[in-house]
Amino acid sequence: MPRFVSVPADAGLLALEWNRPLAEWSSKHLVALPRGISRHVVRFVRLNGQVYALKEAPERYVLREANLLRELQRLDVPAVEPVGVVLDRYTEDREPLDPILLTRHLSYSLPYRAVFSRTLRSETVVRLVDALAALLVRLHLAGFFWGDCSLSNTLFRRDAGAFAAYLVDAETGELHDELSPGQRAYDLDIAHTNIFGELLDLQAGGYLSEDTDLLDLADTVVDRYQRLWAELTEPEEFDENELYRLERRIKRLNDLGFDVAELDIHTDIDGQHIRIQPKVVDAGHHSRRLLRLTGLDVEENQARRLLNDLDTFRAATQQQYEDEEIVAHQWLTEVFEPVIQAVPAELRGKLPAAEIFHEVLEHRWYRSEEAGHEIPLVEAARSYAATVLRHRPDERERLPSADEMDSLVDSDLDA
C-alpha cells in the first residue's frame, strides 16, 4: 500500500491504480481535460465531484514542489492548491515507481494552448502575456524566484475580458525573503526566452499569422513587468505643496489592484521636499472590497467591473450618501442575482457567475446600440444566454473538442 501524505481522507483514492505508472492508468479513472506541456506525466481524476491533477516525478521534486505550493498558498499568491503527495509506490512485481503530487484542479482555468485552439486571435496573446507579467510581479514581491516562467507553466482564467494567471508548476522555484535585482532580471529573461519560443510554436501551428512580430509580443512581458514593478516599488519625490501627488500615487496603485498597507515617507531638512515609497503592497484591492460588501469572491478585473456597476446603481438610485454596505446588498438582490437567475440553470456552470454578469453588460451595450435605446438588463441576460452562452463550451471542467484535442500538445514528455 502506498503512503499518503497530507491527502484528504477520500476512500476513492484507495481504488486508484497506484501500482501502475501514471501513463498506463486505465481511462475509467481519468478525466479528459486540456493539459499544458510538462516534463512529467500529468493526468486528471474525478473523485466524489472533485477533480485532481496528478503529476508523477522523482521524490525530491514532488516533495519540494508540494512545500513550495503550500508556501505560495500561505502568501496568497495565485497558484494551484496542493492537496498532498503519494509515496512508496511499487508495481505488483515490487519495482519502484515515482511518487505523485496531487493538486486541486483550478475550475474555469485553461492552459494557453486550449485558449488559442478556439480563439485564433493574435490579440489574445497580448492579454495572456500581460496576465503572466502581472503574476511574475506578484511572485517576485513575495520573494519567489520561478526559474521557469512560461505560458506552459501557467493556467489562465477569464477575468472580465482579460485573463488572470495562476502558477501551475513550481518545480524550479525558490522562496527567499527578498529577491535581488539580478534574480528578478534573470527570471524575467527566462520568461522572455520561453514565451518567444512558445509564440514560435503557436505560429508554426497556424494560430498566429506569419506577419505577427513575435519578438515584439515577447518584449511585452518585459515592458509590462518593468512598468508594473516601478509603479509598485519606486520612490517618488515632490514638493510639500504637491500632496495631491501622494493621493494620486495611491489611487494608481489601487487601480492596478493593489492595496498600500504602508508608505515610507521622508521629508528633507528644509521641509520643502517629500520622498515616498510604498513599503508593503497587497494585490486584490477590488476583489477584497467586493467580497467585504457582497460576499462575492471573484477575480480582480471582474470585481472592478462589478464595483463599477454597483457605483452606477448607487448614482442611479440617488443613494450616494447611503451606507455602502446597504446599497451593495440592494444591488446584489436587485441587479446581480436577477441577471444570473435569468440564465437557464443548465447554462450557468459554463462560466463563473461574475464573468457571465460582465458579458451580459457587454451584450446589453451592443444590443442597446443596435436598438437605439437601452435594453433592460434582465432582457439582455436572456438574449445573451440564448444567442451567446448556449454556444460556449463549459469551462468549469471543460472537455476539449475533437479538433482541439488534435491541436493540444501531449503533456507526457519524459523528464
pLDDT of residue 4: 82
CA atoms within 13 A on the CB side of 314: 17
Range scoring the smallest mean pLDDT among 98-107, 108-117, 350-359, 378-387 = 108-117
State the maximum Cα–Cα separation within the chain, in Å, rounded to a whole number: 81
pLDDT of residue 187: 97
Compute φ and ψ for 51, nearest 5 degrees.
-100, 130
Placement of cell 496573446 in the chain = 125
Mean pLDDT value across residues 255-278 = 66
- Dig out the grid coordinates for 186 from the structure: 534573470
Tens of pLDDT along 116-129?
655 445 667 788 88
Mean pLDDT value across residues 213-217 = 88
- Dig out the grid coordinates for 81 from the structure: 492548491
Mean pLDDT of the chain: 83
Compute φ and ψ for 238, nearest 5 degrees.
-160, 165
Mean pLDDT value across residues 143-157 = 93
pLDDT band at 406, cuts 50/70/90?
A: very low
pLDDT of residue 36: 54
Mean pLDDT value across residues 49-78 = 91
Domains in the chain, ordered, with CATH?
3-105 (3.30.200.120), 109-233 (1.10.510.10), 236-283 (no CATH), 302-391 (no CATH)
pLDDT of residue 260: 66
Residue 396 has pLDDT above 80, yes or no: no
Tens of pLDDT along 4-53?
887 776 667 888 899 999 989 988 878 776 555 667 888 888 887 788 89
What DSSP state is assigned to residue 396? S
Residue 71 has pLDDT above 50, yes or no: yes
pLDDT of residue 412: 32
How far does CA 138 lie from the centroid of its chain?
Answer: 12
Give the pTM: 0.77
User: Taking Cα atoms as reference points, which of 178, 151, 184 lies closest to residue 166?
Assistant: 151
pLDDT of residue 35: 58
pLDDT of residue 278: 65
User: Taking Cα atoms as reference points, which of 396, 359, 401, 398 lies closest to residue 381?
Assistant: 359
CA atoms within 13 A on the CB side of 316: 9
Percent of the chain surpassing pLDDT 90 = 41
Mutual orientation of helices 122-141 and 181-204 as an angle, nearest 10°?
Answer: 160
Tens of pLDDT along 278-293?
665 567 778 888 988 9
Contacts of 376 (CB under 8 A, 6+ apart): none
First to last CA, the chain: 26
Tens of pLDDT along 79-116?
999 998 999 999 989 999 999 999 998 888 888 877 76
Contacts of 298 (CB under 8 A, 6+ apart): 287, 290, 306, 352, 354
- Dig out the grid coordinates for 402 from the structure: 475533437
DSSP state letters, 23-73:
GG--GGGB--------SSEEEEEEETTEEEEEEE--HHHHHHHHHHHHHHH
Distance CA(127)–CA(413), nearest Å, equals 27
Distance CA(112)–CA(161), nearest Å, equals 15
